[in-house]
Amino acid sequence: MPRLLIVNCTADAVLQTLTAKGSRPYDRAFVESIEPHLPAGIEVDTFTLNIGDGESLPQGVALGDFDGAWISGSPLNVYRPEQPTVRAQLDLARAIWEEGVPAFGSCWGLQLMTAALGGTVHLNPNGREIGVARRICPTEAGRAHALYAGKQDAFDALCSHEDEVAALPPGAELLASSAVSRVQAMAVREGDRSFWGVQYHPEFGFDAVAAIIALRAQRHLDEGLAGTAGEVDTIVSDFHALARDPARKDLIWKYGLHADVLDPAVRTAEFGNWLRAEVLPAG
């Protein structure tokens, strides 16, 4: 049975606020995203490390005990090491890499490993990308990489980020780009060590996006993403409705949505590809 480490990089107080606004806990969202991709008869054992609250692995548990690690999103900024737990999270990312545990990072997870391996991250000059990231296009290397097996040449994804990778770490491959963020995906391999990361959130459903927008409603207004508080409320309500019923034709038409964000199997395909290529062989 493969064992996965879930590295929860967001403080529990923030997660509880998001949960109160309708989101699922991040570790639960990840597990529910990978389960449909497991081969018949295969289950995974998961352990959540709340490093966002400063937790360490308990005595008797080592990184080498895991066949893979998923690094979650976070509202932190990797270029602000004075923020709580940023230094500890960078140290853990380096340790995961050095131990040779295959890792996958979503959003902050991508940024964290980028910085840990010698790349740089900055505030995206194009502004915040939240809701649906449009027309993410795999590069030539991306089209040949296992990360995007079965994905279209251009696809949308659920997202929420204000930072982006500015410079890839040594040895990394750029796997996907968009008009908003040049680095939408990367992979690094060195011998038996591997990391795959994406700037978007394959684990998110519309419930998570709705909760984040609700939590940051004023920022939505300040950044011109909505004109009035009522418009923000409508977006939140619509996204919660899509979480309950992704077949709502009126909302699909209204927001220009496609199967790449509506169909969970398509939306989470990157996780399935990672499991098959990196985790299950290790287990």
Residues with catalytic roles: 107, 201, 203
Q: What is the DSSP string of 60-74?
A: T--GGG-SEEEE---
d(CA 66, CA 2): 8
End-to-end CA distance of the chain: 7
Structure tokens at 236: 């939140």
> What six digits make up the tokens of 252?
């699909």
Distances (CA, A) of 132 to 124, 156, 160, 206, 208: 16, 6, 8, 10, 12
Q: Environment class of residue 55 by beta-carbon count within 10 Å: exposed (0-12), middle (13-18) or buried (19+)?
A: middle
| 37 Cβ contact partners less than 8 Å away, ≥ 6 residues apart | 268, 269, 271, 272, 275, 276
Query: CA-based angle 34:38:44, to the nearest 5?
Result: 75
* 8 A C-beta contact, residue 187 and residue 138: no
